[in-house]
């Protein structure tokens, strides 16, 4: 049974949740904006038969997004259980 958290616990819970959010947010920025920033340079490298810059924008970053979403679901569920605020 999930109970209501007191202010201190709520604060702790939200700090942990926010930290996870910001970590994933930073990685999201990296794969969305920073990695493709160097597409011209990366394109000179071959990866699996693809120019790497093209590969990242067409496949690499996309894979990273899927992993980030799965990671978020798993880690946040763990945080919820740690604080006992998961649903019944």
Partner 1 sequence: MADSKTAGGGGFYGNLGKIYGGYAGGFIVFTLILAVLEQMGVPNKIIGYCFVILTIGVYAYIGILSRTMDLSEYYVAGRKVPALYNGMATGADWMSAASFISMAGGIYLGGFNALGYVLGWTGGYVLVGILLAPYLRKFGQFTVPDFLGTRYEGNGARLCGVVVLFCASFTYIVAQCFGIGIITSRFLGIPFEVAIFVGLLGILVCSMLGGMRAVTWTQVAQYIILIISYLVPVVWLSTKLYGVPIPELTYGQALDQIAQLETKLGVVKHYVDAFTDAKGQFSWVEFNNFWALVLCLMIGTASLPHILMRYFTTPSVREARTSVAWSIFFIFLLYFTAPAYASFAKLEVYQNVIGQPIANLPAWVQNWSQVGGLLTIKDGNSDGILQLSEFIINQDIIVLSMPEIAGLPYVVSGLVAAGGLAAALSTADGLLLAIANALSHDVYYKMIDPKASTARRLIVARGLLVGVALIAAAVAGTRPSGIIQMVAWAFSLAAAGLFAPLVLGIWWKRTTKIGAISGMVSGFGICLFYLVMTRYWPAEFKAMFGTDLWWGIRNISSAVFGLPAAFAVTYVVSLMTPEPSKEMQAFVDSIRTPGGAVVPHAA
Burial class (CB in 10 A: 0-12, 13-18, 19+), 87: exposed
DSSP 12: H
Q: Which of 15, 19, 45, 58 binds partner 1 (CB under 8 A)?
A: 58
Residues 6-35 that bind partner 1 (CB under 8 A): 10, 13-14, 17-18, 20-21, 24-25, 28, 31-33
Question: Does residue 83 contact residue 5 with C-beta atoms inside 8 Å?
Answer: yes
- The verdict on 86 binding partner 1 (CB under 8 A) reads yes
Which single residue is written with the structure tokens 């109970």? 3
Helices and strands counted in the chain (H then E): 5, 2
Give me the 59-78 binding string for partner 1, x by CB under 8 A, dash otherwise. Answer: x-xxx-xx-xxx-xx--xx-
Give the residues lining the site for partner 1 (CB under 8 A): 2-5, 10, 13-14, 17-18, 20-21, 24-25, 28, 31-33, 36, 39-40, 43, 48-51, 53-55, 57-59, 61-63, 65-66, 68-70, 72-73, 76-77, 80, 83-88
């Amino acid at each position: 049974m999930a109970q209501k958290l007191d202010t201190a616990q709520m604060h702790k819970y939200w700090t942990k949740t926010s930290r996870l959010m910001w970590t994933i947010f930073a990685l999201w920025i990296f794969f969305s904006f920073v990695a493709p920033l160097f597409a011209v340079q990366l394109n000179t490298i071959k990866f699996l038969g693809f120019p790497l810059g093209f590969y990242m924008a067409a496949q690499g970053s996309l894979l990273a997004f899927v992993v980030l979403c799965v990671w978020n679901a798993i880690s946040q569920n763990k945080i919820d259980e740690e604080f006992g605020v998961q649903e019944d």
